[in-house]
Structure 1
């Protein structure tokens, strides 16, 4: 954020500290729970571009093709718009085939009363960038979070405004309410989808959606979330350790979905990120690499070395909170299927040959024989429901 030492940069002081943002999120323990992996202070005046180049390299290394970069603003000097322009430079500099798709944050743009003409003019100003992702016909891809928060006429206005400048676009829209909205946007967009389930129990077979879109010449975007936790709103969705991520990716493969749209690479405010970070480290990132290869080749990759990943909370969900520091309890949001809370440690083994998985904690050892392939093995958290675990 500011190229300072990690001990006192804005992530540490403002985002993760209960005292950050002038104590606005004190009762929630801070706005974020983890940060990007720290790096040394850079002497390069273009450090923002260098950081984005690193992000491009990391994403490209596991098979991602592009960043859908959220646009909450479209004016020079504002964070979202300046990040788009910088990311276009970074992707162009890497020159490794990785691209960028402008993704309309429809709620923010509509709340700011941004018109179709204004959005079209902004996109037109960067339309010549070679880093923008285009289809085979040369059309620029434009994405959206909750595309149905704007009427079809708003989207048609953007398309017409760009067409009048000789710029053709292909809309790839995620919808807040897919079943209710799809028919209104089917003829407008080339791709439709959702931002993905938030609990394993909410994952459904979308092969019917895929086939319906294919019959009309469109494609389906399958949303993927590793987890979802909103500290400032005091709610979470139960991901059941890594099950949500693995099950959603497997479902996307078996359903014949055309695109994966990960929600998200780095949204640490909503805790949906799978970019390498201080808390989850490389676990979700590595899992994504395996399943991305499977998705793209439509063949499950052979496991050539033994690898173990583990996932767990740092305390029981029933641990009483400190009323002097926390204003209310966190709760499981009712927006998705009620998932039983997972107060356990999950060990996921990717094994070349059969073996035995073990978890030792609290003076106890739990074991399970595992065949070659992928095995998920669980053991209960240590301690009691009344004492938080040490990190």
Structure 2
């Protein structure tokens, strides 16, 4: 979403209303984000597609410290997961666009031409059966009471085009497998860039009854267990499947946990409503118990790319909410160009946010942005991101393994942000997802729980279990696909220099020796207690690592997707795994 920004829209899950384009630039993926300082035009168009052949679920991984010194086995699809980032002063990342069309009933029912084995966990179970967080994390999660007692809030940007399932079919033949992960899916419309997606949600078993509501409840439970306070809901449209899913998400949240809230985020790169129509639609959602309100009762509305309309337009919307619906609004505009627009929006705003940068070298503006907002008497919502790679836009940001995640969290903490928005929860077309996925398991979400705990409590969690995380790409940054793909991703202007590294991130209770294997090369290094990141050269083959102390192995992790020299589809997302799950 946005931190550095890529603002492109995504397709509605429903498959396919356009969603973000720079966050919407014109819809691209979901965020098109203008880079923070010197923001430039938004990148519009999101989606990337990929091809998955033999699949095994990847386990989750957690990343650690902010300092770096310096993959597991399993048949993996040869696909690429792009990232796009727009650091401050760099070309802003924009949101990716949502699918342009929503799969029809006929398309959803279409049999898969070549069944794929359902993804499973290493133990053979469905990929959605994680180990309890109490045993999977390197630290003990603070209690829900402690986390909710904090004035600091954490929201995850929810993108409606990509729910856990689009058709309630077994994963080996569902819509994701048939049409989004394969280059030839949806009648070949994504073949030019190798397929719409490079990753997907962890597969879930088909359900009886209202399976869509049941799956949304599952996502709420997953986010809540990670310590997240709520979703920031990307409103791509006011009718159709994305609108229906938006309503269902609010219902799901209320039924799972009344304390889990949904912040309304009209996507101004996608919506074409006038002030009256938007106010009336928001009022309908505001009637639902899960709609996020301040303690004084004001409804929080945080439009994506608020500068798409001028202040006068927004005043009409706010007046309509107040006069016609008797709803007072706490307006928190999210800009793709915060520096150029915060002054004019200040009189009508409760707080500010922006989409941010997706490169680890583009996070410096976060602290000054928070300071600027606070000096104006506003709260600041800081974007925190993992990575960004958009095959269908031909652009990506260099995230430096988990460096972007760790750096963006560090700036949110050090800068005194009031709220954080994880950009994104599930925009698979941008490769920016924190939600558990086929290739990353719970790795990025587990790591976020660590920083989230520090952000909300003011204290770094104590490491009580040795845990090791690995991350790397499955191909080299400059590899040229040998298949039919002719639109390849290039680094976004201003992003960090692309690199080919394996990152070993360790959380240790005491110093230990880390023994690693990358391809055919074995090595070792000493790691201190606490968090430590070590970089190793990327090599073909699989990577693994284990921590040893006094002759005993205390943790072991393997990246289940091998690195290949020759690839059919470009996939520049970083895959991650954790020893904890």
TM-score range, shorter chain: over 0.9
State which of 257, 260, 266 in structure 2 corresponds to 1:95.
Answer: 257
Cα distance in 1, alignment partners of residues 322 and 508 from structure 2: 53
Per the alignment, residue 446 of structure 2 pairs with 286
Per the alignment, residue 429 of structure 2 pairs with 269
The alignment partner of 1:222 has SS state of: strand
1:359 aligns with 2:516: yes
Aligned residue pair count: 382
Cα distance in 1, alignment partners of residues 522 and 231 from structure 2: 42
| Displacement after TM superposition at 1:383 (Å) | 3.4
State which of 4, 10, 13 in structure 1 corresponds to 2:178.
Answer: 13
Per the alignment, residue 216 of structure 1 pairs with 376
Cα distance in 1, alignment partners of residues 289 and 357 from structure 2: 33
Cα distance in 2, alignment partners of residues 326 and 356 from structure 1: 43
Contact 1:320 1:386 in 2 (8 A): no
| Displacement after TM superposition at 1:93 (Å) | 0.6
Cα distance in 2, alignment partners of residues 269 and 386 from structure 1: 23
Contact 2:181 2:196 in 1 (8 A): yes
Q: How does 1:305-344 map to 2 (within 5 A)?
A: 305-322=465-482, 324-334=483-493, 337-344=494-501
Cα distance in 2, alignment partners of residues 386 and 60 from structure 1: 37
State which of 565, 568, 573 in structure 2 corresponds to 1:387.
Answer: 565
The alignment partner of 1:200 has SS state of: coil
Per the alignment, residue 38 of structure 1 pairs with 203
State which of 202, 216, 223 in structure 2 corresponds to 1:52.
Answer: 216
Deviations along 1:168-189, whole A, 9 cap, x unmatched? 1111221011111111112222
Contact 2:258 2:289 in 1 (8 A): no
1:63 aligns with 2:213: no
Q: 1:389 to 1:348 in 2, by over 3 A?
A: farther
Contact 1:220 1:257 in 2 (8 A): yes
Per the alignment, residue 33 of structure 2 pairs with none
Per the alignment, residue 82 of structure 1 pairs with 244
Cα distance in 1, alignment partners of residues 366 and 252 from structure 2: 35
Per the alignment, residue 352 of structure 2 pairs with 192
Contact 1:199 1:238 in 2 (8 A): yes
Structure with the bigger RCO (C-alpha within 8 Å, sep 6+) is 2
Cα distance in 2, alignment partners of residues 19 and 262 from structure 1: 31
Contact 1:16 1:34 in 2 (8 A): yes
The alignment partner of 1:341 has SS state of: coil
| Displacement after TM superposition at 1:389 (Å) | 7.8
Per the alignment, residue 145 of structure 1 pairs with 304
State which of 187, 199, 203 in structure 2 corresponds to 1:22.
Answer: 187
Contact 2:474 2:564 in 1 (8 A): no
The alignment partner of 1:144 has SS state of: coil
Cα distance in 2, alignment partners of residues 150 and 221 from structure 1: 20
1:349 aligns with 2:506: yes
Deviations along 1:314-365, whole A, 9 cap, x unmatched? 011122321x51113321111xx33121211111101111112222122211
| Displacement after TM superposition at 1:225 (Å) | 1.2
Cα distance in 1, alignment partners of residues 442 and 499 from structure 2: 21
Contact 2:264 2:300 in 1 (8 A): yes
Cα distance in 2, alignment partners of residues 383 and 58 from structure 1: 34
Per the alignment, residue 85 of structure 2 pairs with none
Cα distance in 2, alignment partners of residues 193 and 360 from structure 1: 42
Unpaired runs of at least 5, structure 1 = none
Contact 2:262 2:291 in 1 (8 A): yes
Moved more, 209-218 or 370-379: 209-218
Cα distance in 1, alignment partners of residues 258 and 311 from structure 2: 35
The alignment partner of 1:377 has SS state of: strand
Please give the root-mean-square deviation of Cα atoms over the aligned residues, in Å.
Answer: 1.8
Contact 1:366 1:379 in 2 (8 A): no
| Displacement after TM superposition at 1:373 (Å) | 0.9
Per the alignment, residue 106 of structure 1 pairs with 268
Q: 1:214 to 1:318 in 2, by over 3 A?
A: closer
| Displacement after TM superposition at 1:96 (Å) | 4.5
Cα distance in 1, alignment partners of residues 422 and 244 from structure 2: 22
Unpaired runs of at least 5, structure 2 = 1-165, 542-562, 569-574, 576-581
